[in-house]
Amino acid sequence: MTSTAPVPTRLAEVPGAVESVLRDFLGTAVSTAAAISPVVGSSAQVVADFVLSGGKRIRPVFAYAGWQAGRGDANGVPTGLTDSDAMRICAALELVQGCALIHDDIIDASDTRRGRPTVHRVFESAHRDAGWRGDAAEHGVASAVLAGDFALAWADDLVHGYAPATVSPAGRPVEGPHVAPLPPGVIATWAAMRTEVLGGQVLDIVNEVSGEESTEAAYRVMEFKTAAYTVARPLELGARAAGASEELVDHLRSVGHDLGIAFQLQDDLLGVFGDPARTGKPSGDDLVAGKRTALLALGLSRADAHDPALGDTLRSVIGTELSADELATARGILTDVGAVADVERTIDTLLESAVTTLESTDIDDAVYTDLVAVSRRMAHRDA
């Protein structure tokens, strides 16, 4: 699979370049799906529209940072992959993310994502508008499960450089262009990342239904669902694609761990205190969904120690539709018992730890500057 996407020189250019790769790839993917049946093509188009609807493109940015750092590693061994190959790997991460978000919205029964209807709601509306038989909501969920599967399958196609499988008029598969095979380290990292994010999601939903309240359990979810998947593994993917030394890979993984946890902690804050106009989600969405976040775990522990009645009040609103007054009360408890301030301090500590580790690595000054700037923005974002 080839692309005419421009090659970024700075990290700020990565999202635009990734968008170009995705548009080329998804255009072919939708056409291939439509060759099976117009209805399959329509489903594939919903996936493409969702993936291209926005997002911070954080994972590709960190993957490309790893690539840039690895290319400048004096102790590394070049793999023969090109900048275009690196961009393909970066873009594939967004398809994994597309799958994760589509399925996550089903699990959480979310109505909106990025200020738009979630994918299962799109399919639900299509069912209702068409006047089809059966339950529209059930159809929406079933269709969205398959939509997420499309995205995950396409991610594997893209990372390995395959065009979406096409079929000739005679029914025979048509081979796409061949590309250089990925190094074993890249394949192993890609495989580990997929398993880790799925494992983190399993832990997350079990914590919700079991009523798990420990901060240790919340951090365990963050380790796999966010830290590894969002920052550590993307950095490692890029570095290994460039042939970086194990020493540099280890440093980048450490950076990724700290930044990934900081990212999720900030996400926890936004899930309770975020402005819907900025986040694209309803106010207090994490509380409504019953998310067992580190912020909530810490808040419950602090509230119980301060006044058990506060802990009971906080527990009573978890996983319920909140009124404005109930949301304000929950926010007040989390703030008053010091949970919010503690999480904010932890974010700052993790960020500075990551920056300190970066300072000890021998990477290009421009890469260092860009990576630190991206890290600070990510750890203190408002959306």
Q: Is 179 exposed, middle or buried (0-12, 13-18, 19+ CB in 10 A)?
A: middle
pTM of the predicted structure, to 2 decimals: 0.92
DSSP label of 176? -
* In the chain, % of residues over pLDDT 90: 86
Task: Quote the strand ranges of the chain, DSSP E.
Answer: 112-113, 116-117, 166-167, 173-174
The beta-carbon contacts of 135-142 under 8 Å, at least 24 apart in sequence, are 141/106
**Minimal CA–CA distance to 151: which of 59, 42, 29, 233?**
29
Using the predicted structure, report yes or no on whether residue 373 has a pLDDT greater than 90.
yes
Q: How far apart are CA 48 and CA 34, in angstroms?
A: 13
DSSP letter at 171 equals S
pLDDT, tens digit (0-9, with 9 covering 90-100), for 11-28: 999 999 999 999 999 999
State residue 273 phi and psi, 5-degree precision.
-110, -5
How do the residues of the chain divide into helix, strand and coil, expressed in percent and rounded to 5? 75, 0, 25
User: What is the second-level CATH architecture of the domain 11-379?
Assistant: Orthogonal Bundle (1.10)
Pull the structure tokens for residue 60.
């590709």
Instruction: Give percent above pLDDT 70 in the chain.
Output: 95
Q: Are 260 and 221 in contact (CB under 8 A)?
A: no
pLDDT in tens, 316-364: 999 999 999 999 999 999 999 999 999 999 999 999 999 999 999 989 9
pLDDT tens-digit series, residues 227-266: 999 999 999 999 999 999 999 999 999 999 999 999 999 9
The pLDDT tens digits for 134-178 are: 999 999 999 999 999 999 999 999 999 987 765 555 555 555 555
